[in-house]
Structures are given as C-alpha cells and as structure tokens.
Structure 1
Amino acid sequence: MFKIKKLPLSAKLPMIMVALTATFLVTVASLISSLAEKSIRKNIYSAHEIEAKAGAQALEFLISSAHSNLASQASQPTVFRAVSNFSRVIGMIEEADPIAYLKRVYGSENPNPVDQRAQLVDPGDGSYYSQSHNSYHPTFQRTVELNGYEDLYLFNMEGLLIYSVKKLDDYANNFASGELAETGLGQLFAEALAAEPGHVVHSDFALYGPAGDLPSAFLATPVLDKRQKTVGVIAVRLGSAGVVQALTKNLTDHEHQNIYLVSADGLARSPSAQGDSFGVMDALPDVPQIQAARNGETGRFDGVPAMAGGSATALVIPLGLPGFTWSLVLETDEAAAFAELNQIRLLAMAVIGGSVLIAIVVSLIAARRVTKPILALREATNALAEDDYDTDITGKSRSDELGDLARSLDSFRHKLKQADEAAVREVEAARQTAAVVEETSRALSQLQAGNLACDIQAPFAESYETLRKNFNQSLVNLRNSMGEVISASEHVGKFSQEQSSSADEMAHRTESQASTLEQTASALRELTSNIGTTAEQASQMDRAMSRTRSGAEGSTKVVTAAVSAMDQIQETSREISKIINMIDDIAFQTNLLALNAGVEAARAGQSGAGFAVVASEVRALALRTSTAAGQIQELTSASETHVANGVEMVGQAGDALSGIITQVSEVSSLVSEIANGVRKQSEGLEEINGSMETLDGVTQQNAAMAEEASASSQLLQQEATSLSGIVSRFDLGQGNLSEGPVDEQTTGWTANPTEAGDTTDWDEPLSA
C-alpha cells in the first residue's frame, strides 16, 4: 500500500505544493464565483424589481389620472350643461321613437365603420340633439384620445345613455333596468348615483358584451348642478391595451419577459404581454407566483413554471390601487436572466484548470531548488555528529531560509569547539570554588559559636574577593549592632525600674480616688431615691386634686340640671293654672245653662218636669266642679311658690360649688407645679448619679490599668535583665566596635589557610 511518509522530500514537496496551490485556487475561484453569482443575482433581482415597480407606477399613474380627470370633468360646467342639454333635446326630436332615431342616425346609418363611428360629429339632420352633439362631441373625443380611454359615457337620472364617444351597441340604451343593468357599467351607474359628490366608483375588468366582449373596466362619478344636486353620471371605459402599454413600456427585454395583473380570485386582469399565453379573465394555473398574487403577498420565486412556458424567475408585488385588488407579476426567462452567470462559471473552471497545470510545473522546479541545498546540509550535520569540525558547509551565501540554516550550522560548529575548551576551564574553576567554600564555612562555624571577630584576612581570587569583603563588612556591622543592643538593654533596665515606681504610686492614688467616688455615688443614690419618693407623692396628690375637681364639676352639672327641672315644673304649674281657670269658666257657663234650662222647664209645666230635674242635677254638678277647680288653683299656686323657693336655693348651691371648683383648680395647679419641680430635680439627680457611676467605673479602670502598667514595668525590667545576659555571650573582639574598613582592623580572628592543609594560592587568578 502506498504511504506518503516513505516518499523522499524531493517527491513530497512538489505534491504538497501542488495540492496547496490547487486547494487555494479552487477555494478562491469558488469564493469569487460565489460572490460574483450573488452580486449578479442581486443586480438582476434589483433590475427586475425596478422594472416591476416602474410598471406598477405607470399603472397607478394611469388609474389615478383617470380618477382625477373624471372627477375634474364631473365638476366642470361643460359636462353639467352637456347632460342637461342632451336630456332636454332628446325629447325635442320630432320622431315617434326618439331613441330608435338616435340609434339609427348615429349607429346603423353611420357612414363610418363600427370602430370609427366616433368620427361622425354632425349627421346633418338639423335636430337640436345633433346641434348639441356638434358642440360637445369634439371636446369629449379629445378627452378620450388624450387619456387613453376606450369610451366616455353620459347618463341622465333615469339611466339612459344619452351620449357616448364611440356610439357602440350600448348607445341610447337604458342601464337602470333590463339586461344592461347587470353589466359592469350598469352596476357602476347605480353606485355612482348613490355616491358622494366627487367620489369615483370602479369596476374591475370583465367581458363587456356591447363592446364585442372585450375586457373592460369602468370608472364613474355623479354630475352635479350649481346647487350640488346630482343630475346624471359620467363614466369612462378602460381597455386592457392601455394597461399592457403602461406595464410594458419600461421593460428592457420584451422577448424574455412577461408582465401581467392577477386579481384575488386568481383570474388574469390583463392579457399576457408575451405571446397569447392567456387572455383577460382567464383562470391562471396554481403555481407559486399565482398563489402569492391571490393572497396579496410580495415575493420572489426562482425556477417556477412560466405562463409562456419554460422556467422563469418571478416577482410578485401587490398594488394598492383604490377599488382594485390586483397584484403585479413579472416573469423573466431563467436561462436569459442568468446567461452571464453561466459564462462566469465556465470561465472560472478554465482558469482553475490552467492554474493547476502551471502550479505543477512551478512546484517541480521550486522543489528541486529547495531539496538540493537541504541534502548538502544533511551531510554537514552528519559530519558534525561524528566530531568532524573541519567539514565544509555550503550555502552560507544564500539570502533565504536555507542560507540562514547554513549560517546557523556554521555558528553551531564554532560553538561546539568553544564548548570543548570551556570544559577544561570549568574544572579549574571548580577547584578554586571548593577552596573558597571551605574557608567561608570555617568562618561561619566561628560565627555560629558566638565569635563576632572571625574576619577572613587572607585574600581570595579576584572573582571571589567581593564575597570576602562583604563577609568582613557584615561582621563589622553585626558587632556595632550588638554593642548598641547592649547599651540599649542597660537603658531599658534603668527606665523600666523608674516606670515601675511611678506606676505603683499612681495605682495607690487611683485606688484612693475610686474609694472616695464610690462613697459620693452612694450618697447621691440615696438622695435620688428620697426625691423620687417625694415626686411620686406629689403626683398622687395632684391626681387626688384632679379627681376632687372632676367631682365638683359633676355636682355643678347636677345642680344645673335640677334648676332646669325646677323651671320646667314651674312652667308646668302655670299651664295647669290656665287649664283650671278654663275649667272654672266652663263650670260657670254650665251653671248658667242649667239655670236657663230650669227656667224653660218651669215654663213648660208638667211636660218639662223631667227636664227640670236634669237641669237641677247639671247645675249641682257645675257647682261642685267650680269648687274643685278653686281648690286645685290654690294648691297649684302654693306649689309654684315652693318651686320658686327650690330654684333659688338650688342656684345658691350651684354658685357655692362654682367657687369651690375655682379654689380646687388653683390648688391643683400649685400641686402640679410642685410635682413637676420635684420630678425635674429627680431627673437631674439621676443624671448626676449616672455620671458619678460612669466616673467611678472609669476610675476603677484607671486603677486596674495602673496595676497592669506596674506589672508590665516589672516584666520589662526582667526582660531587660534577660537581654543583657543573652548579648553577654557574644565576643566583640576586646570591645572594638569600630566602623572602619576591615583591612584597617588589626584585631580579631585571622584565618590561616595553611593550618587546614590548604595550599591554594589566593593571588593566582582563576581561569575563565
């Protein structure tokens, strides 16, 4: 089995270069082709969209122009006068059937062909209708020609078509009833009559029988007089030819493009612009672009069946025309649209093939130029591996990476030679280093034993001399520092003793102060308790006085209520006296009546004897009533007198209670002031007591801190003594704390190399 790993570099390198080049070329070409395809498709789609929108705008302009022109025509006095005159002069035709006369003169007897009947302006019959026709027909004919209408119609209020430009079979017929009422124009006439002034109504394209079943769309609006009253209807007919012309005038490739209109019911509302694939009102097949048009959706479709056959790219744009639910469909033959794209693809494939062939040749040549110097470098590397430093290295003059590799290999050869020479020097350096380490170790052992005067006097080799000087200077600094520590420990011992004495004295004074403050605080607490008791008793007395005042005030209310009740009793007694007087008057009148009745009974003789007895009894009863009323009157008068005395006495009691209440209020105010004063004194003493307790606590803390400071001073004195003992173990070399250079010191420990059997010559320089 073939394995690429076993191939030599001279074979692998061309293969890799060809593969990379081919991959790069294919990738770049594919990317460029893809970008070009996207750009071309975008440009093609943009061009189609511009053409479709241009057609839509032309159609919108056609419809909007028809709208505005028709509304303008309806508002002009000429149209109003034409409708009025035509309606009036039809009745002035001196014929048995004026309608049949008009159809004969302008229709069947018209000297022009059917499609040129509009050329007849005046038939020369001398009728008033022909005179009016001669006046208005040229104006309406120019309107039709300038706006691209198929025909123009004038109706009276009864639905009679009183004028048309083309004079087809619909001329002089009634559109309010009969068969023509069911046509698109007849239905539009009924809508226009009910429309608002200036409003234009529409009907979509449909087959119109009077025009030879040509597909027609209609627009109509009411005609108004000077009083804005509807007097008729003006209408125009639009043909599919004008729509196709508006849609196709902006197309750039009529041979491969088809543009048409589709309504929401899926019917074609304009004929095919490419051949005779379909006509107006034909049902279109259920393909994606027709489905989108039916749903009123905007969309673009590639590779869909075209109406004229073949495959096409289609663009669907819904139109917002008032009164019409149309969508515009633009189909472009896919082969013609993307012909340029196919050419680019073929060109890209040819470029890739040629580039791959060129890459193969270039790769073979380049591989040979690369592999030859690599083989030479391999031979030189093998010689160096066998310690052959005299072999010749070629290619050092090259300026590429292989030249860099050759120069690096030559430099590596020189470094190998230097490495062998350096190995010898390193052995000698190791020997000198061992001697320095041994001498330094001996000095450190003396230092560990506490000897701070173990300076190294014998000089080292030049490369290690700095180490010896730094060691000796460190010993000088250490001796000086230890001397300062000894001096400082002595001072600390003396100062700590003084501080301990001061701390003891302060502790005694603080304890005395704390005792005095404690006695003062106890006395203040007792005084505060007594004053609090007094304040509580004053508060109780204040509450008792308040209750007394409340009771007195309640008694005043009772007295006031009693006075009011006495007044009511007195008033009631007066009312009773009045009633009793009335009863007395009634008894007196009854007595007089009984007396008169007795006199009349006496006059009557024997027949009035019984009545006389009754009158006598009534009189006796009246006398008793009068007597009783007098007695009640006396009792009532006595009661009024007693009630008046009671009211007076109750009033005096109320005045006395009011005085008592006033005095009780004054006493209560004084007691309240006393209670408030005592309460404030109690609060002030409580604050003083709290402050004393706080001061007592602080004093206790001060005493504790003084004792702690005394204990700390004693501990500090002990530590100073211990520190003096520790530093006394160090040997400072006869107390010499000089800070001068080491070489100037003649005292101290001197290292003698010969004592340890070391024969190293320190003055001999070390070999690098």
Structure 2
Amino acid sequence: MTLKETTPVLLKPSSVSLKLKLPVLMVALTVAFVVTVSLLIYTMAERSIHEKVASAKVSKAHAGAQALRFSIDAAQRDVSNLAALPTTFRAINNFERVIGMIEVDDKIGFLKTHYIVENPNTEEERAALVDPGDGSYYSQSHVTYHPTFVQTAELSGYSDIYLITPAGLVAYSVHKKGDFAENINDSVLADTALSRVAQAALAAEPGSVVVEDFSAYGPSGAVDAFLASPILNKRGDPVGVIAVRIGTDFVQSALNANLADDGYENIFLVDPDGRTKSPGMIADAFSLLSVLPNAPHIAAARAGEAGNFTATVTALGTPATAVVVPLDLNGFDWSVVMETDSAQAFAVIHRIRWMVLSLIGASIVVSIGVSWAAANRVTRPIHQLRDATNALAQEDYDIAISGLSRGDEFGDLARSLDTFRDKLKSADEAAEREEEAKRETDFVVDEMSRALAQLQDGNLVSEIEHPFSKDYETLRENYNHSLQNLRNSLREVVEASQHVDRFSQEQRAAANEMAERTESQGSTLEKTATAMQDLSQRLRETAEKATEVDSTMRGTRREAEQSNEVVRSAVAAMDQIQQASSEIAKFINMIDDIAFQTNLLALNAGVEAARAGEAGAGFAVVASEVRNLARRASEAAGEIKTLTSASEEHVANGVSMVDKAGNALTSIIAQVSSVGDLVSEIAGGVQHQSQGLEDINTAMRELDAVTQQNTAMAEEASASSQLLQSEARTLSSVTGRFQIDPPMSTDAPASWDDGSDTPAASHEAAG
C-alpha cells in the first residue's frame, strides 16, 4: 500500500457537487442560529430545575428525619411516664400477686389456655378479649387494667405493651402473642430483643429508657424494636419492667408523612453496618435487615455523614439522586436515606431537551427543503446529462437524452451526446457478432474435449448429444458412430468374461462342496475307527474280567463246600449238647427227690423233738435248719430244671437253623457251579468278538486313508477353480473400466470402477 493510498482524502469544495453546495450553505447558517439559541435556553432551564429539585428533596428528607426524631423522642418519654404512673405500679403488683393465686398446678398453662388457646378472636384481634369468664383473680385484674393499656397502644402506635416481673415472667401483654406468660430466661424468649431490653431495664437508673434496635423477633414473626423502663416502688427498688414493642410501620409512617406515593421516591433507615432498618416505599427494592450495596450514598449513611448525591444507583441498579440525613436519637444509630429515580426527578429537563432537539430538527428539515427547491432548478439539467453519460458507459443505449431542444450550452451538450450514443451502438453490434462466432468455436472444442476425456476414463456412452453448427456437425456424427462400434465390441468381451466367471464359480462351488463332504466323511470315519478301537479295547478288558470272575467263582465254590462240612460238624455237636442236657435233667430230678425226702425226714425229726420236750429242743433247731436247707435245694433244683429245659429248647432251635444253613450252602454250591460255567462261556465269546473287532478296526483305518486322499484331491480341484475364477474376475475388472451402457438413474456411477454394480461385482456377490 502506497502513501497516497493511506493518506485520507480531504473534502475540497471543488469536489462537492453543485446540487449539495447551495443547500448546504443555507442549512449551515440556519442551523447555527437555531442551535445556539436553543442551547442557551436549555442550559439555563436545566440549571434552574436541578437546583429546585435538589432543594425539594433535601427538604423532604429533613422533614422525614425530623418527624421520625419527634416520634422516637415522644415514645421514649411516653415509656418513661408510663413506668412512673401509679396505675402501672399497681398493675404489675396485682398481676404478679394474682398469678400466684391461680388454683391450679400449671398456672402458666392456665393463662395460655384462657387468653390464647380458647380466645374466640383471631390472632391479630386477641386484644379484644377483656374477660375470658373463668372467674379467676387474674381475669378480674385484667378487666381493670387491660382497657387502659389497649388505648395507650392504639393512640401511640405501639405494636404491644408488656409488664415483666423481676423474675422475668411476662405477666401481661396487650396482644397476647407467643411471648405472653413466658419467662425471658426460658427457651422461647432467651436471646431475643425483649429479653435483652428487660434485663437491661431492671439494672437501669430510675427514669431511664433502654432501647433495642430493629431485629427479627420470633414470637411476632416480624422485625421489631423495643423500649423499656424500670417500674419502681416508693423506696426506689425495681418491682418490674414496662416495655413497648414498635414495628417498622411506626417509623415508616413518620418518614413518609411528607412524601407522595408516586413510585419513584424511596425513604428508609440505614445503620452503621449498612443494613436496612425500615421498609422502603418502593416494593421489592430490598429486603428488610439486608445489607445494601456499597453505593456512595450508602457509604455516607454507614459513616453517619450527611450529603446530597446527584449521580448514584439504587439497590436495584437504577440511576438515582440521594439525600443522607444522620439522626441523633437516644439508643438508635440511624441515617435517613432518600432515593429518587433520576428519570422521574428530572423528567421536566428531559421534556425540555426533547423540545430543543425537536426544534433544531424541524429547523434543519425546513432549511433542507427550501435549499433543495432553490438548487434543484439549477442542478437538474446537469444531473440529467450525467445520468445519460453513466448509462452510455454501462452500454445502455435505450436511455432518453433530455434537453435536445434547448438552445443553451446544455442543449449543445445533449445533441453531441446523442450522436456519440449512435456510434457506440454500431460498434457494439459488430463486436457482438464476432463474439458469437468465437462462442460457437469454443463450444465445439469444449464438447470434444469433454467427450475425449470421458472416453479416456473408460466411459463408452459419452456421446455428444448437443448438435453443432453445420460446419462441425459431421465431426460430431463420426465420433458418435465410432463410439457405438467400440461399445458393441467391448460388450461381447464383457459377456464372454461373465460366462467364464459364472462357470468357474459353479465349478468352484461344486469342488468346495465335494471337499467339505469328503472331509466330513473322513472325520466320521476317523471317529468311527476311534470308537471301534475303544470298543475292541473294552471287549478285551471285559474278557479279562470274565476270566477273573470265573477264577473267583471256582474259589467261592471251594469255600462253600468247606463251609458245608463245618455246618455238618456243628449239627453233630449240637446233637451231643442236646443229649448232655437230657442227662443233666435226669440228675436234677434226682436231686429234687432227695430234697423232698430230706424235708420229710426233717419234719419227722421236728415232731420227735417236740415230743421229747426240753431235751429235744436242740435237735428241733437242727431239724428246722435241715428242713430249710432241703427247701432251698428243692427250689434251686427247680430253677436249674427250668434253665435246662430252656437250654434244650435253644439247642433244638440251633440244630434246626444249622440244618437249614447246611441246605442253603448246598444250594449255593450248585448255583455257583452253574454261574461259573456261564462266565467261562461268556469269556470265550468276548475273546472271539474282540478278535472280530480288531479286523474291522484294520479295515476302517484303510478306508480312512483312502478318504484323506480323496479330500486332498477335492481341495486341489477347489484351488484350481478358485484360480480360474480369479482370472475371470481379472478379465471382468479390465472390461469393467469401460462404461458401455447408460446409467439407470442420475445416481448411477459414471464408470464401472465407481461402484459394485459391475458384472464382476455381481458375480462375486453371487459367489
């Protein structure tokens, strides 16, 4: 880029058209006058309005601050006076005394039941209940003092009035909220503003007022402040505390007294922490007790500095003006902040500004209109000639040239321009004829180049459809005939390659199938040979086992024969035992007879001894003992006889069982002999079968070898078919490079190599 190109071109008067020069000069003079006068008027009006608006806002802010200061001071004086009234003193004493006189164990529950739970009024109207009708001393005192406190709260705008005993019990409240009959040290009121202000008032100086700033108070569900003062007896000792609860509406009514609810003025209180202590006049501008953004006027309010801010923003981020007025109140550290929407506060200035701008705009429009009308009569012929010249430059020879009949310089110029247009028109027509001939030649060359390029890519259907001029038409027809002859010859080659491919594919499929079947047959023969070999091995093992069983059966038969001899010996021994038992029975009968005879002799000896008197007393004793001995011998002989009889029965049973065992062993020996003969025959048959299976196994191995040779020959035939098909595909691939048929649709490929719809691809998909 050169220096000349980068240097900005200054607008010179000679480069500006005459059509612009005349109106611009007139507009510049008119606009300069109108703008100067309008700006002077607007500046003076804006300064005056700013001063008046600022003064009005400051006056409203100070008036709100003064009203709030008066309300707070009045409330503190009111609380101090209430604490000094004898009525308040009697009320706190009576309520504390009659609570102790309630004749139930749960005195607090009694008060809550009658004044809260069973109160027929809504929560906001519980103060309307004067006497619940329970007949208690507390209710009698309530009837006496309640109307006075209700009237005081309504006249002063208090949210509630409390009487609190030195022990911390809330003995009375006007509205009977959740804090009624609660102790300030218990969980409900502990660490609340009411608890703190009551405890501070009990320790405060006589006549002083203790305050608690606005904070969230749970029993009321709102943001409240508290004022409290001690109630003293004649000796100056505290007998309780009177406390009042004031809501945010108490301070807001004082702040809003001099403001109109027009939606663009907002006044509220801010503490040194930057938190809002009262609601604003504009809804949703901020949340109560929330920390405001650190705008300039909020920073001044936190520092307790007065100020007037003309350019700041509200908590919502809108431009505003603000006035800050610090308050000097006992126990409260607040600053009054008044915000005014800038757009609304200076709406008059905006209206004047638009009026001035409208006046300037109207003056410019009128000046332009007049200047244009005056200059148009001079510049119109010049512009008409300029338009005609531009049209000729753009080869528009049909434009009408005006001013040909004029007798001045504009007429001479118009007639010269008309002659020049005719000459340009003739020259352009000659050039157009030459261009047409060149386009025809270029068209023939382009079509032939395109057709030859497609022929080079193998496209044999790229005939030239568009007719040439009569000088070149013979060339197009010769090219199309040559292309058709080449296409017919190549189609015959393609068909031959397709037949070769199809036949080789069929041969390959048959060879593959034969190879697979032969391979399957070989596998089956191999499995059969393996199975026959396993069967032969198992038969051989079975023959061996049968031989072992035959040998075992022979040994078993010999042992059974030996056992039969043992049984016969046992039967003979049992017979001898039975004969011995019979002999023993005879001896036992003999002993029984001897005992009977001995008993008779002893009886006779006792009779004789009795006859002998004292001389036979000793003999009588001996006879008695002999009798006893004979009796025991007889009893023992009887028992032995019984046992001998049972033994004979058991021996007889044993003889019978041994006879049966001998018979069973004889039968077993006969059966074992039969089984042994059968096992011998089976062993011989198994050995004969094993030899037959060995012959079959040898034949199967020979058949498996022949099958493996057939499989190898089938695989060689399949490989030869595959090579033949590969050669056919190579031939199809070569012929597939040429397109000999037109595509079926616009989406078909221009060449066989572009897709899978070729004969080679079709055969491959079929294979």
With structure 2 as the length reference, what TM-score do the two structures score? 0.43
